[in-house]
Structure 1
Amino acid sequence: MSKYRNRLPQLAGDLFLTDGGIETTLIFHDGFDLPHFAAFDLLNSREGVAALRAYYERYASIAQAHRLGFILESPTWRASPDWAARLGYDDAALEAANRRSIALMAELRGVHETDAAPIVISGCVGPRGDGYDPGRMMTADEAEDYHSAQVRTFAATDADMVTAITMTYPAEGAGIARAAKAAGLPVAISFTVETDGRLPTGATIADAIETVDAETGAAPAYYMLNCAHPEHFRDVLAGGEGWAARLRGIRANASRRSHAELDQAPDLDDGDPEELGRDYAALRAILPNLTILGGCCGTDHRHVTRIAAACNHGRGAKAAA
């Protein structure tokens, strides 16, 4: 069962890494066809499982090299009912896929965790709609109902927590937070940010965090931001009040392109890993509780390596391959 569910080590103030853009890495670097960006579907083949294992092991090695904690985010961003149905999964097959995903994470933790580099297993929950465009928006009650099955499945596994990634509007984040609270799982909510530093719906980051906290009794353990270059939201965070202290994680893009430009681009814009590392170090000077560092669309192990080097302040780290 869960190792850290009642005591998430990333809340103690030490740095934790997480991975980069798993779907873009698997598609553009590893050559996989991922219908609907569903990485969990790779669990159905030996080749796919091997690719997932290799993907996560590379990041776990970076964390070990820098003596940092690591959050294993399961490949289940698309493993919810609507998306899974498009891939031919019924409810039983979907539950089995979510369970297998966490089992793989537990296997990897068993191999790679050390005293200096604790590993937290997070069950990744994605949006019902697109990660850039909410489409039809749900109420918090509807979102809780929709996401509860996946969250309950995670609660019966070795998952230590749930992380809702690429949330485009507050109500869906609130619904997932309620589902996690009901299942007894800690939860983090990560919001997609546009080039203007706001959510795709136009809500400010402050409004999003404060709304979810108000509607859930501050259920999330912390909040994160994803899918934008640091320059798109850095100025919004400067001088932030109480809501800024709730931000503990960043999964930024290395690309400065807008979401519309990224959607239409035939190539992968992976930006400058060295520059991104410096940007993260600058963000840590703004956000007092920023300790969870990873990447989003177009980022890979190179970016996370540079982020770790820039933010680790010389804790005996050695260069990671």
Structure 2
Amino acid sequence: MSGVFGALLESRDWLLADGAVGTNLFRMGLEPGEAPELWNATDPGRVRALHEGWVGAGCDIFLTNSFGANASRLARHDAEDRVYDLNRRAAEIAREVADAAGRPVAVGGSIGPTGEGVGPGGSLDASAAEAMFGEQARGLRDGGADLVWIETFSAPAEFEAAVRAAAAAGLPWCGTMSFDTNGRTMAGLDVAGFAALVAGLPAPPLAFGANCGVGASDLVRSLIGLAGAAPGAALIAKANAGVPKFVSGRILYDGTPELMARYALLARDAGARIIGGCCGSTPAHLGAMRVALESRPRGAAPDLAAITGALGPLSPAETGPGTGS
């Protein structure tokens, strides 16, 4: 492996990734319906402050503010002609923070789904999706991202298009899919199918795994399934901070830093090499996770009873370990 992320992954038992971008930018003043990626141009100071929070919490890798910076999503804000510039600026801001950290910290160039159906029956064919992701990847590369981080995907054809775009830009990649309460993505792919998809790609990942979904219990269950389907793989776990709840017109997450610290230990014991948070997770959550990982030795791989005892019930409890059965 080359680059700072590869060197960290080779030299360390686990790495700490970052937490939520959108959730925290809303706390910092982002308005509902506003594209967070536009802040890379209009309010870079607050984007920089979020990245600095991840570094201060002890993260080894954090992601750029570019999740939705593709032409399809930016068209909703009349900004589809700004894809390259917004991605390049996102990576530049992140690069500045990482380089000032005083220790090795990697920058992952975040690429999320287009929001369109990709492949047969969808509104985009795979080549069009690849072109969209390619514009992002080139901007992230030119801004200084160490790798492309493909996250929160559901459909195999769209995921493959993003991987091809990363490879064409000359960047290594990591990737995660989001699994629901039945252990499947919204497109119906289970963790065994995801592992098989990754194994068949011409450009292999540095690491892959699961993010978002429901709560921490469900994500660790998916991780157990991935570890069984891809033994020896470098796996990623990025769970939401608890279970989402709709309160007074807003989605809130009930996971405390203490719960996320327990999740981090279980994720490591289940086989994750890169452990972070997703929706609702703040630098305070990540700081607690770092302390737990540094102070507690590795344990045995957890079973479902250990997971639910530490993190709360599965949704639904009868679903098997990430298999959708």
* TM-score with structure 1 setting the length: 0.81
Counterparts of 1:102 and 1:238 in 2: how far apart (Å)?
Answer: 32
3-state SS in 2 of match to 1:57: helix
Question: Among 250, 269, 272, which residue is 1:266 paired with?
Answer: 250
3-state SS in 1 of match to 2:237: strand
Counterparts of 1:238 and 1:110 in 2: how far apart (Å)?
Answer: 35
Equivalent in the alignment of 2:72: 82
Counterparts of 1:20 and 1:89 in 2: how far apart (Å)?
Answer: 26
3-state SS in 2 of match to 1:156: helix
Equivalent in the alignment of 1:30: 28
Equivalent in the alignment of 1:41: 38
Counterparts of 1:12 and 1:242 in 2: how far apart (Å)?
Answer: 24
Shift of 1:144: 2.1
Instruction: String of CA shifts for 1:205-240, please: whole Å, max 9, x gaps.
Output: 1201211331x2252221021113231143344374
**Contiguous gaps of at least 5 residues in structure 2:** 298-325
3-state SS in 1 of match to 2:217: helix
Shift of 1:108: 0.8
Shift of 1:251: 1.1
1:193–1:200 CA contact under 8 A, matched in 2 = yes
Counterparts of 1:107 and 1:256 in 2: how far apart (Å)?
Answer: 34
3-state SS in 1 of match to 2:97: helix
Instruction: String of CA shifts for 1:232-283, please: whole Å, max 9, x gaps.
Output: 14334437435253352211012224xxx66996241232221121122012
Q: Aligned in 2, Cα 1:137/1:230: closer, same or farther, shift over 3 Å?
A: farther
Shift of 1:139: 5.6
After TM superposition, the structure 1 = structure 2 runs for residues 290-305 of structure 1, keeping only pairs within 5 Å, are: 290-305=272-287
Equivalent in the alignment of 2:90: 101
Shift of 1:175: 1.3
Shift of 1:310: 1.6
Shift of 1:25: 1.4
Counterparts of 1:51 and 1:32 in 2: how far apart (Å)?
Answer: 10
Counterparts of 1:137 and 1:225 in 2: how far apart (Å)?
Answer: 26
Counterparts of 2:92 and 2:258 in 1: how far apart (Å)?
Answer: 34
1:98–1:154 CA contact under 8 A, matched in 2 = yes
Equivalent in the alignment of 2:236: 249
1:189–1:220 CA contact under 8 A, matched in 2 = yes
Q: Aligned in 2, Cα 1:242/1:267: closer, same or farther, shift over 3 Å?
A: closer
Counterparts of 1:130 and 1:143 in 2: how far apart (Å)?
Answer: 9
Counterparts of 1:122 and 1:253 in 2: how far apart (Å)?
Answer: 19
Counterparts of 2:231 and 2:150 in 1: how far apart (Å)?
Answer: 18
Instruction: String of CA shifts for 1:32-66, please: whole Å, max 9, x gaps.
Output: 21535x32211233xx2221111111110121xxx
After TM superposition, the structure 1 = structure 2 runs for residues 176-255 of structure 1, keeping only pairs within 5 Å, are: 176-214=162-200, 216-217=201-202, 219-228=204-213, 229-238=215-224, 240-255=227-242
Shift of 1:126: 0.8
- State the one-letter code of the partner of 1:103: E
2:260–2:289 CA contact under 8 A, matched in 1 = yes
Question: Among 270, 273, 283, which residue is 2:267 paired with?
Answer: 283
**Contiguous gaps of at least 5 residues in structure 1:** 64-68, 316-321
2:151–2:177 CA contact under 8 A, matched in 1 = yes
Q: Is 1:153 aligned to residue 153 of structure 2?
A: no
* TM-score with structure 2 setting the length: 0.80
CA RMSD of aligned residues (A): 2.8
Instruction: String of CA shifts for 1:267-303, please: whole Å, max 9, x gaps.
Output: 412322211211220121121xx22221111111121
Counterparts of 1:262 and 1:180 in 2: how far apart (Å)?
Answer: 36
2:210–2:223 CA contact under 8 A, matched in 1 = no
Q: Is 1:71 aligned to residue 68 of structure 2?
A: no
Q: How many residues align?
A: 291
Counterparts of 1:130 and 1:302 in 2: how far apart (Å)?
Answer: 34
Q: Aligned in 2, Cα 1:140/1:210: closer, same or farther, shift over 3 Å?
A: farther
2:6–2:206 CA contact under 8 A, matched in 1 = no
Structure of higher RCO (CA pairs closer than 8 Å, 6+ residues apart): 1
Q: Aligned in 2, Cα 1:12/1:265: closer, same or farther, shift over 3 Å?
A: farther
Equivalent in the alignment of 2:322: none
